[in-house]
Amino acid sequence: MEKRADTILVTGGAGFIGSNFILHWLANESANVVNLDKLTYAGNPANLLSASSDRRYKFLQGDICDRDLIAELLITHRPRAIVHFAAESHVDRSIHGPDDFIRTNVNGTFSLLEEAREYWAGLTGAEKDAFRFLHVSTDEVYGSLGPEDAAFTESTRYSPNSPYSASKAASDHLVRAYFHTYGLPVLTTNCSNNYGPFQFPEKLIPLVILHAIGGKPIPVYGDGQNVRDWLFVTDHCEAIRSVLTRGKGGETYNIGGRNEVKNLDVVNSICSALDELRPNDPVMPHAKLITFVTDRPGHDRRYAMNATKIESELGWKPRETFETGIRKTILWYLENDAWIQGVTTGAYRQWMATQYSL
């Protein structure tokens, strides 16, 4: 890795969104990237194999709760920005075991903020003016919408309904407090549901793809009418770059895909595409595999994001429609069997059996 001042520190960069962001960054920016990731079950170095030979990229395994490690990284690499993805992010896992979510999402964010504050306080001149702490969060902090309710805006009252969303809401509040109390130049982004390459197959879209091609039951919670706004991960990465470059310190930016789709419609879209792409799969049509299962506790009915602020102030808009994005996603999973085999271990299969009783 080249020794120069222009560096960013990414936390959780071996996860789904973080790894896509690093690949996107290296393809579009000149600055170095230091990637700090604990490598829990959802962190996968294989996501970044194509970056491993890039001199601008450095990976370090470590925990964001380790303040001594964070302090050392900041002193050694002197980043101009911290882009904070590291989080426990699966609602179902937060229901079964909320402890990890509080530790990582709340305590970990606090540790980062404290070390970033001390580091920033020691900067001077242009370095201090340029520094940013970008906190990546979720639309789930806003709670649930009714069918006719207006989409979430940056001023929507927080109303989290799961241990996961409550932990992210707490981290958002900490970030805001560090701006107003200490002046730390923070930025917060709240995104809608991401999908695309490298997503761990406990999440809806990759789970449906893998179960469909394997002839396994496709679990759908409740009546399948829950609505989500779907955001292709590369669009999200571009939005984060825009916020980091042009966002105003202390501000929050909602990032959405303008693609509200019911869960059952998502599943049927994938099944229809696979009918065309995989006509020799074990079960045809693939929609025969749809199996309705008991709804999860506190399942939010609808999320929708009003992204007018980032579109009007920063000039960002999503490039992908749901139709184009889901096609790209399906093709990626069909073409990357080695990656799939690497993540669907015995532990993954045990989790699926426990969660869905299938």
Q: Is the peptide bond before 285 cis (omega within 30 degrees of 0)?
A: yes
Q: How many whole angstroms separate alpha carbon 329 and alpha carbon 322?
A: 10
- Kindly list the catalytic residues: 139-140, 164
pLDDT in tens, 203-225: 999 999 999 999 999 999 999 99
Model confidence, pTM: 0.93
- 175 Cβ contact list (under 8 Å, min separation 6): 109, 113, 133, 135, 186, 188
pLDDT at 90: 60
pLDDT in tens, 295-320: 988 898 999 999 999 999 999 999 99
**CA 13 vs CA 237, 292, 357: distances in Å:** 12, 34, 32
Alpha helices in the chain (DSSP H): 16-28, 67-77, 91-96, 99-101, 109-121, 125-130, 163-182, 204-214, 233-246, 263-277, 308-314, 322-335, 337-343, 346-356
Q: How many whole angstroms separate alpha carbon 31 and alpha carbon 43?
A: 23
Q: Report yes or no: 194 and 42 within 8 Å, Cβ to Cβ.
A: no
Given a cut of 60, whether residue 157 has pLDDT beyond it is: yes
Q: Which domains does the chain have, with CATH numbers?
A: 7-195+231-258+304-319 (3.40.50.720)
Do you know the residue count of the chain?
Answer: 358
pLDDT in tens, 51-66: 999 999 999 999 999 9
Q: What percent of the chain has pLDDT over 70?
A: 93
Given a cut of 60, whether residue 45 has pLDDT beyond it is: yes
- Chain centroid, CA 267 distance in Å: 20
Q: At what angle do helices 204-214 and 322-335 cross, to 10 degrees?
A: 50
